[in-house]
Amino acid sequence: MDTRTLGHSDLRVSALGFGCWAIGGEWQDSGGKPLGWGAVDDDESVAAIHRALDLGVTFFDTADVYGTGHSERVLGRALKGHRDEVVIATKWGNLFDEATRTATGEDASPAHLRRALTDSLRRLGTDRVDLYQFHLGGADPEEAAALRDACEDLVREGLLRGYGWSTDDPARAAVFAGGPHCLAVQHACNVLEDAPEMLGLTAERGLASIVRGPLAMGLLTAKHGSGSRGVPGDIRAVPPAWLRYFEEGGVPAPEWAARVDAVRSVLTSGGRTLAQGALAWLWARGAHTVPIPGFRTRAQAEENAGAMAYGPLTEAQMKEVGVLLGR
């Protein structure tokens, strides 16, 4: 339960990783809509990462675009002196302006891949990335195949340990899965929205499932199924079309809040918090799952890491959740 292997490699990671989107702070799209989770305190972010290390977390996932480079810089600062103790994953494919903290477009070219990696290595303060992930989930499969082959070159150069694709499409994931050093697929999954086809693909191919959105963008951390999550600069306050859990102002959508309430008692049984129960559900979905909940504070780091002490839900609990959600 304590560790997972990333694909066909010798990289061992904690069963729980930490996602570093939120610690990137505020940033926006070209139209001025927020893409971050609100303002952050960098010193608190660093302290939270150090606390996570103390509690046995060894896998940290970020992206160059999170905070337009800021998340990578903060993570690099926090892991200084700890590089050989951890596995670092980051992503590429998005373009951004660091000065204005604005996302400006996409680039799926092999030339950009190398440029982006060079920049990420500098911001992270490291000489290699352990897991490099293509961040454009809907990219053309032929373009992706060329990027997969370019990643193999970077592995041979010692700049990468392995690579993967952040996508929710199993057919696209299969393109990268054909590469010798593909180690993982990053995809959405949580107790409210299962991903059986993708989990099946990763298990069949011997890859890790790096699970983003394991707490449904915070919906599975609330004490109640309603109430505001949105503050200025928080993506949940002005949710894009894909973020269905929240309505304008950060208020949970009623149908999703009802699903949380339906499974709350099962997830919180045995002393778990709601968030810990949601993580336990994911571990029960397969021994290759590595959920990466976000965090901004030491308290959140402690709660999330504390889930590892409980382990996965039992088979009976999993069946009960399925019945309650009508599966």
Report the C-alpha gap between 319 and 190 in whole angstroms: 15
Neighbours of 84 (CB within 10 A): 6
How far is residue 172's CA from residue 31's CA, in Å, rounded to a whole number? Answer: 29
pLDDT band at 232 (very low <50, low <70, confident <90, very high): confident
pTM of full prediction above 0.85: yes
CA–CA separation, 34 vs 36, rounded Å?
6
- Cα–Cα distance measured from residue 254 to residue 274, given in angstroms and rounded to the nearest whole number: 18
**Tokens 């970020």 appear where?**
62
Q: Of 58-62, 179-183, 238-242, give the lowest mean pLDDT range.
A: 238-242
User: What does the pLDDT look like over 95-141, one tens digit per residue?
Assistant: 999 999 999 999 999 999 999 999 999 999 999 999 999 999 999 99
> 235: which 2 tokens?
């993506």
Are 198 and 165 in contact, with CB atoms under 8 Å apart?
A: no
pLDDT tens column, 314-323: 999 999 999 9
Whole-number pLDDT of residue 1? 63
CA distances from 244 to 194, 249, 253, 263 (A): 15, 13, 7, 19
Kindly write down the DSSP assignment for every residue of 236-275, as one continuous string. Answer: TTS--TT-TTEETTTEEPHHHHHHHHHHHHHHTGGG--HH
Residue 134 φ then ψ, to 5°? -70, 125
Report pLDDT for 226.
Answer: 46
The answer to whether 213 and 188 have CB atoms below 8 angstroms apart is: yes
Helices (H) and strands (E) in the chain, counts: 10, 14
- Reported as a single tens digit per residue, the pLDDT across 147-184 is 999 999 999 999 999 999 999 999 999 999 999 999 99
Give the amino acid at 200. G
- Tell me which CATH code domain 3-324 carries: 3.20.20.100
d(CA 87, CA 59): 5
Run of H or E residues at 12: strand 12-14
Q: In a 3-state reduction of DSSP, which class is residue 218?
A: helix
β-strand partners of 173? none
> Residue 96's beta-bridge partner residues?
103
Beta strand 182-188 with 102-106: parallel, antiparallel or unpaired?
unpaired
